[in-house]
């Protein structure tokens, strides 16, 4: 007799695990959540863990605001700690305040506690030293900015789903979808075959390959993100402000407190235009690129020059052409197949909203959020034959 589930979810990262949790919470029947390694062990576990509201699109701000509230009270709701720390958040924009005012007004109207700061107002904002505001346009300063541990979040969602009756199987490598009568009837893994009414693929770094095997043509980019841990002259308090500097789009970075009084830096590490094979990717950085970033960083925050460099590593994620994820029913002939991909780090902070609306969509309910910005349809046909984008080999 074949083992039958109602929902099979491949990938226990932020998106897959939150969806499993939300489905289980709604009593959605037999749920199976599988992961190649363990919950949060893929791209989610390497995300920066920043919690902010600052997005340009109303729909995303709404989801971010809902999610920030959920993450703040996550432990009360689920009983699991995600090491949430509220420390406020400054997002530096290259454009001046008057140009950014509509975005600011939109965020305020949605209830986000944010302030628009001029470069002069930002100069003294960091408690550890002066900021050189050259080249900045304005800053969005959020009272409810925070950070948490993305690995713990995925693990907590998976554990929470289990408590509510879902099954979690780890060490299961997804191989293929079983198609029967035009439906996704189940999956085959390295360990076995599982049948289910609906298959949800949220397999993180494997999704570009999965999507190309499904015959969908779209631009998906592997995104290397550089992280560094610094040891400051005296320990950073956990609630020292997070600053995310997007004033130079070629060299974005963030700086926030990390465990043990250290400092976590993150940068866009998009230096490799060649397609990356994720299984061959190793966490390397080029020294020249590292220096370029540190020059940029220390120009903004000269006090960092005296901090010690403890470690450097590069994380890998997948992003879409417009940096928003793709979430929804497979837009092809196969029924019963739901896709979640292109998290690019944003899906950690959005996962409470994403898990909720995915569960609602899967159950045929009206989603609580306007999800058109994440529709898969918008991405189709955006493939670029020039290098730089993923091609399955």
Contact positions toward another protein, by CB under 8 A? 230-231, 279-288, 290-291, 294-295, 297-298, 304-310, 313
> Which is closer to another protein, CB of 296 or CB of 346?
296
Whichever of 304 and 337 has its CB closer to another protein, that residue is: 304
Closest approach, Cβ 131 to another protein, in A, equals 16
Q: What are phi and psi of 257, to 5 degrees?
A: -65, 150
Minimum Å gap between C-beta 193 and another protein is 23
Per-residue tokens: 287: 């020294």
Q: Which helix (DSSP H) or strand (DSSP E) does residue 297 occupy?
A: helix 287-300
Contact 44, 16 (CB under 8 A): no
* Smallest gap from residue 277 Cβ to another protein (A): 8
How far is Cα of residue 84 from the mean position of the Cα atoms in its chain?
A: 16
Residue 123 to residue 98: CA distance in whole angstroms: 19
The residue written with tokens 């924009």 in the block is 93
DSSP code of residue 82: -
- Give 295 or 391: the residue with its C-beta nearer to another protein: 295
In the complex with another protein, which residue's Cβ is closer, 2 or 280?
Answer: 280
Instruction: Compute the least distance from the CB of residue 224 to another protein, in Å.
Output: 13
Which is closer to another protein, CB of 310 or CB of 391?
Answer: 310
Pairing of the two strands 4-10 and 50-51: unpaired
Determine whether 270 is exposed, middle or buried from the number of CB atoms within 10 Å of its CB (0-12, 13-18, 19+): middle
The DSSP-derived string for 145-177 is -EE--HHHHHHHHHHHHHHTT-EEEES--EEEE
Complex with another protein: residue 229 or 383, whichever CB lies closer: 229
Q: Is the dihedral of CA 147, 153, 156, 162 positive or negative?
A: positive
Output 173 or 370, the one with its CB closest to another protein.
Answer: 173
Give the nearest distance from C-beta 276 to another protein in angstroms.
11
Closest CB 257 distance from another protein, rounded Å? 17
Q: How far is the CB of 204 from another protein (least distance, A)?
A: 15
DSSP code for 335: B
Least Å from the CB of residue 274 to another protein: 15
In this structure, are residues 16 and 200 in contact, taking their beta carbons and an 8 Å threshold? yes
Pairing of strands 174-180, 183-189: antiparallel
Q: Which residue's CB is nearer to another protein, number 73 or number 277?
A: 277
């Amino acid at each position: 007799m074949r083992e039958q589930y109602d929902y099979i979810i491949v990938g226990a990262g932020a998106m897959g695990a939150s969806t499993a949790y939300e489905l289980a919470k709604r009593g959605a029947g037999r749920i199976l959540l599988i992961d190649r390694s363990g919950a949060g062990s893929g791209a989610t576990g390497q995300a920066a863990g920043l919690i902010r509201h600052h997005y340009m699109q109303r729909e995303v701000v709404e989801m971010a605001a809902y999610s920030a509230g959920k993450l703040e009270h996550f432990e009360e709701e689920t009983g699991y700690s995600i090491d949430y720390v509220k420390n406020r958040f400054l997002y530096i924009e290259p454009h001046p305040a008057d140009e950014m005012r509509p975005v600011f007004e939109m965020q305020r109207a949605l209830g986000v506690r944010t302030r628009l700061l001029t470069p002069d107002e930002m100069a003294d904002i960091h408690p550890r030293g002066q900021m050189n505001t050259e080249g900045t346009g304005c800053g969005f300063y959020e009272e409810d900015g925070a950070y948490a541990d993305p690995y713990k979040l995925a693990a907590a969602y998976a554990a929470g789903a289990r408590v509510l009756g879902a099954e979690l199987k780890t060490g299961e490598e997804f191989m293929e979808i079983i198609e029967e009568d035009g439906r996704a009837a189940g999956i085959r893994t390295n360990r076995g075959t599982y049948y289910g009414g609906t298959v949800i693929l949220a397999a993180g770094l494997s999704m570009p390959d999965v999507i190309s095997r499904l015959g969908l043509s779209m631009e998906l980019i592997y995104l290397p993100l550089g992280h560094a841990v610094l040891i400051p002259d005296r320990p950073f308090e956990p609630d020292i402000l997070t600053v995310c500097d997007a004033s130079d789009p070629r060299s974005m970075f963030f700086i926030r407190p990390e465990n043990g009084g250290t400092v976590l830096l993150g940068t866009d590490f998009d230096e490799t235009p060649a397609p990356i094979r994720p299984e061959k990717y190793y966490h390397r950085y080029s020294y020249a690129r590292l220096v370029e970033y540190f020059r940029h960083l220390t120009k903004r925050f000269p006090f960092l020059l005296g901090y010690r460099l403890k470690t450097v590593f590069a994380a890998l994620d997948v992003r879409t052409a417009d940096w928003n994820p793709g979430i929804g029913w497979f837009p092809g002939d196969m029924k019963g197949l739901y896709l979640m991909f292109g998290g690019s780090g944003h899906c950690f902070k959005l996962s409470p909203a994403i898990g909720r609306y995915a569960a609602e969509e899967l159950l045929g309910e009206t989603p609580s959020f306007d999800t058109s910005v994440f529709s898969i349809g918008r991405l189709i046909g955006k493939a670029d034959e020039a290098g730089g984008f993923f091609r399955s080999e």
